[in-house]
Structure 1
Amino acid sequence: MDQVKYHSTQNENIGLIQASYQRFTFRKHFHLDFHIGLITKGQQKFYSQGTSHTVGKGQVVIMPPDELHDGSSMYSNGYQVRIFSIDPRWFSELAELNSGSDQVQFRQLIISNPTLFQHMIRLHQALGTHNLSQLAKDCLPYEGFEFLFRHYGTIQPKGTVPLGNQSISTLKDYLMENLAQPVKLEELSQLCELSPAQFQRHFKAKVGLTPYAWLSRLRLEYGFKLLKSGVSGTEVAHQIGFYDQAHFSKAFKASYGISPSKI
């Protein structure tokens, strides 16, 4: 049986997920945040970075922001996972980045390190409890993720993926500022100085999704953040450009396996 629980922490940049998946399948998607998954039972299969992967109990998966991937259970008995959702800006603070042209990355997609795994499990459990002092809750993330970054993290220049006379990142910024607007293909193609056919073809080749599917995911990801901040589902649907709350709820559940009211 599929069960998903989302938890906020004292740090608004860090969210927690505890889930058991059996039948639910994640279609191709991406996140705006880092997702660090800890497989606690069973095996998951997913496709990312041009390769099919299998990950099982005791392994850590680090999925960077904007990385296209899918996910499902390897076997019929399902798998269980604990996940950290972390704003990239928080990792930049941890790494003491002073340049906006650099970013935190990790050298491995899948990590098999029992010591690290148990360390991260204890951190996930601690951040989800209410029996800690405020200072402990403030300090634990820095202590816990510093261990991960020290052993597997790196600092690299931000890459640029060109699209016409723009880049994917500038296009993303433009769409994030216009999530509630009825964006047209011609509008985006003119922004990049491409024909609509060229834009559609080049975008799909470089991103792996159609412009429409990409925009839909951006809307849902931002909607998720709004829900976690306490904004009502009706207002979220309005702010991210859905026709009404019913359409938003249907799309949200299909993508995350849970209704917006459960966040």
Structure 2
Amino acid sequence: MPALADQLHREATLPSDGTVTSEDGAVVLLRHGFQASEGPMGHPHQLRLGLLLAGGGNLYQRTSAGVLQAAWNPGQFNVVLPGDHGHYASPAVELLGMAIDTAQWRDAPGGFPDIPSLSLRLHRDPVIASVLQALWSSAQVDACVPGFLQYGAEVVVRRLAQLAGQPPARPRMPAPLPSRQLRQLQDFIDEHRSQSLDVAALADVLGMEPTTFSRALRAATGMPPYAYLTQRRMHWAQQALQGGLSVTEVAMGCGYANPSKFSAAFRRVVGVSPSVWSRQ
């Protein structure tokens, strides 16, 4: 389990309803319950946002930015900013929360906004509530495409900047992967196509940090890492099916233990099922 998700699970005092983690581990979405509690708060590199679903009462947060003391009602969310160390006292709550590791997001378009005032009050915003609910609902029915959680987190961050009254930041365009590195990546995927590969493994091949790699790959190909990885595997699968291998053999060769999941991925990329492709 990625470090950020693991940390959040340890902090939850009631059983979690589940966790969704981005491919690079920098964004975690989870729904969980907290019993009434108090103690130290804050982390140097984490932005945390908690949308109250049920429960509530008086919330107290004291940090270097100031003091928040207010009645926390369902539909409102609080914000704990990176480096916002202090003390909190919270009522029993059920939250839909998002945590973002800003250390991994240092190359995010426009960078992270400076929004200190947001931690001093509770907020009710339909945009952020809708984004969090949409991300959670999509994850529950396995409808999240690669990069969906990162995109949602970027929307949340931009919306927080708007709520803080900041002008829109002009995105910094990441440099695309050069053709030499793209060929190196293709060779690695082809050679290890049957193995379980994640973003960190792909980035490590090129000696890059996962988030920087993801953005450079998207700039070069228009695709996030998992979409690119799947497309590359399906390219080999087309050739293997033409060569006479069965769907099950090709699925195993692409790293899919379940042929039906391979077929679904093949149809998503190629447009037809593997069996139809073989006949054609």
Which structure would you say has the larger RCO, counting Cα contacts within 8 Å and 6 or more residues apart? 1
**What is the TM-score when the length of structure 2 is the normalising length?**
0.43
The answer to which structure has the higher strand fraction is: 1
